[in-house]
Amino acid sequence: MRYLPHTDTEIMEMLAVSGHNQVEDLFAHIPEECRYQGEMELPEPLSEWALTDHFQNLAANIRSSSAKAVLLGAGSYSHHIPAIVPGLINRSEFLTAYTPYQAEMSQGTLQGIFEYQTLTARLLGMEVANASMYDGASALAEAILMALRLTRKKHTVAISAAIHPHYREVVRTYLQAGPFTIVELAVGEDGRTDFSALANIDDLAAVALQSPNFFGVIEDLERAAQTIHSADALFISCFSEPFAYGLFRSPGASGADIVCGEGQSFGMSRSFGGPGLGMFACRTKYQRSLPGRVVGETVDVEGKRGYVLTLATREQHIRREKATSNICSNQGLCALTAAAYMASLGGTGMRRIARLNYDKAAYLRKGLVEAGAKLLFRTPTFNEFVLCFDDDFEPVRNRLLEKGIVAGMELGNFYKEYKGAYLFCVTETTSKAVLDTVIKELRI
């Protein structure tokens, strides 16, 4: 079966309108050396059922997170998803809904987003949250752009080297076209951010750090807030594991001005890397510079409660080239997923899950240290930690792989100074049997 919808007659009619004689003429502006020459070597076409069998055979050769355990972390986390969450978000009213441009026609979607904003603001200890963004990395980049708008004439931002490497790369991509300078703050011996370099920066607009950071270390956010504000800069706190705030004090309560990060942990499976959810919140006094959308609550002419898009200073609405963001579509279904997940757990459930993460990670860390591993940082951590080994850990890691356990991520690809160190992560989904197996293999 051919999947081209146009007949030869229709194609010739379209070419006549465009002033061309053949399809190849449409590509004449492309230099010939850049065009593919000859016929593409494609396999023979398959029937629908044969094609289905072919892809099933390919899938059988791919190892996914259906393995016993993946103890990696690094911004993507395995958490149990209550059945109520997919049961709700897979309803056609939500699953097929598009961005709510016509608010009066999208009350259900808008209410879902409003609830998400409320739960997000409570979790992060902030006053205003937006209707979500693409992912944690782009949320951090947008937070830095927001800070630069707020501080106007200042052009320098400082970013902790303990922030997820991918997040920092996205920030550099966002800022490279502008007159901005990025200063990277070093990681101290305790795994926390070293702020000593701030004393030498004159036009500092903002400082960004992550807690728990890439190494799982809990930053001292209150001390950071004092240091950053004394330098007359805005404090941006980001995260990749929001569950930490079910156990530790929120960034907002610690003095952060803008909080952003990844919400994948709240009801979204890792799905080979996506989709993600950018969570974003700030102080009320900064809300008019907030990127993306905000859903507000109001009443109609009959006094009935309703929801509207408000403070949507985007290029597609009223601000044009002066828009605060080019984020054109909120992650609506992902935001609804996070809202359903947070609501299903509640505050008590959030604390219990966070405690399970903390305790199980502590169990594995203690067992591996007793088996001969060494902690790279002795500072408090959440569900991730970094270990070093006197002997090469790869043979142990390979034996565990044969048992379906992916244990530890080598940090040399991200930090040359930590080559040979491994990042481990444990969540509530990891059984004690798996943890004991990892510990036992290291003892061999």
52 in a structural domain: no
Q: Exposure of 174 by Cβ count < 10 A (0-12 exposed, 13-18 middle, 19+ buried)?
A: middle
Of 286, 315, 342, the last residue of a domain is 342
In this structure, the answer to whether residues 378 and 305 fall within a common structural domain is: no
**Does residue 99 register a pLDDT over 90?**
no
The predicted pLDDT at position 65 comes to 53
172 in a structural domain: yes
Of 301, 317, 342, the last residue of a domain is 342
In this structure, the answer to whether residues 310 and 247 fall within a common structural domain is: yes
The predicted pLDDT at position 435 comes to 97
Residue 248, Ramachandran bin (φ over 0: left; ψ between -120 and 50: alpha; else beta): beta
CATH of the domain at 437: 3.90.1150.10
In this structure, the answer to whether residues 289 and 362 fall within a common structural domain is: no
The predicted pLDDT at position 3 comes to 61
26 in a structural domain: no
102 in a structural domain: yes
Compute the radius of gyration of the chain from its Cα atoms. Answer: 25
Query: What is the average pLDDT across 108-116?
Result: 90
CATH of the domain at 239: 3.40.640.10
Place of tokens 């355990």: 69
Of 342, 361, 384, the last residue of a domain is 342
Whole-angstrom distance, CA of residue 247 vs CA of residue 238: 16
The predicted pLDDT at position 328 comes to 57
**What tokens does 82 get?**
């209550």
Q: Exposure of 96 by Cβ count < 10 A (0-12 exposed, 13-18 middle, 19+ buried)?
A: exposed
The predicted pLDDT at position 329 comes to 59
State the residue range of the domain holding 371: 69-79+347-443
Query: What is the average pLDDT across 92-107?
Result: 71
Lowest-pLDDT choice from 27-36, 37-46, 83-92, 308-317: 308-317
The predicted pLDDT at position 93 comes to 82
Query: What is the average pLDDT across 274-278?
Result: 89
The predicted pLDDT at position 259 comes to 98
301 in a structural domain: yes
Q: How confident is the model at residue 106 (pLDDT cuts 50, 70, 90)?
A: confident
In this structure, the answer to whether residues 358 and 286 fall within a common structural domain is: no
Looking at the structure of the chain, the number of domains it has is: 2
Whole-angstrom distance, CA of residue 437 vs CA of residue 98: 46
Strands 258-262 and 234-239: parallel
In this structure, the answer to whether residues 253 and 384 fall within a common structural domain is: no
Q: How confident is the model at residue 63 (pLDDT cuts 50, 70, 90)?
A: low
**Does residue 324 register a pLDDT over 80?**
no
Lowest-pLDDT choice from 112-121, 278-287, 310-319, 375-384: 310-319
Report the C-alpha dihedral over residues 103, 109, 111, 115, rounded to 10 degrees: -130
In this structure, the answer to whether residues 275 and 130 fall within a common structural domain is: yes
In this structure, the answer to whether residues 97 and 246 fall within a common structural domain is: yes
The predicted pLDDT at position 1 comes to 40
Q: Is 408 or 99 the better-scoring residue by pLDDT? A: 408
**CA neighbor of 336 nearest in space, from 281, 268, 287, 274:** 268
Q: How confident is the model at residue 81 (pLDDT cuts 50, 70, 90)?
A: very high
In this structure, the answer to whether residues 375 and 327 fall within a common structural domain is: no
The predicted pLDDT at position 168 comes to 98
Which distant-in-sequence residues (6+ apart) come within 8 Å of 190 by Cβ? 217, 377, 378, 379
204 in a structural domain: yes
**What tokens does 124 get?**
């992060």
In this structure, the answer to whether residues 127 and 148 fall within a common structural domain is: yes
What number of CA atoms fall less than 13 Å from residue 379's CA on the CB side? 17
142 in a structural domain: yes
pLDDT tens sequence across 6-53: 888 999 999 999 999 998 899 889 998 898 888 888 888 888 899 999
Do residues 299 and 305 make contact, with C-beta atoms less than 8 angstroms apart?
yes
The predicted pLDDT at position 275 comes to 87
**Does residue 314 register a pLDDT over 70?**
no
User: What is the percent of the chain where pLDDT is above 90?
Assistant: 71
In this structure, the answer to whether residues 358 and 236 fall within a common structural domain is: no
User: What is the percent of the chain where pLDDT is above 70?
Assistant: 92
Residue 62: CB atoms within 10 A of its CB come to 8
Place of tokens 């050769």: 61
The predicted pLDDT at position 2 comes to 54
pLDDT tens sequence across 335-346: 999 999 999 999
pLDDT tens sequence across 242-268: 999 999 999 999 999 999 999 999 999
In this structure, the answer to whether residues 260 and 361 fall within a common structural domain is: no
pLDDT, averaged across the chain: 91
Task: Provide the β-strand partners of residue 294.
Answer: 310
Task: Provide the β-strand partners of residue 133.
Answer: 278
The pTM of this model reads: 0.86
30 in a structural domain: no
In this structure, the answer to whether residues 252 and 142 fall within a common structural domain is: yes
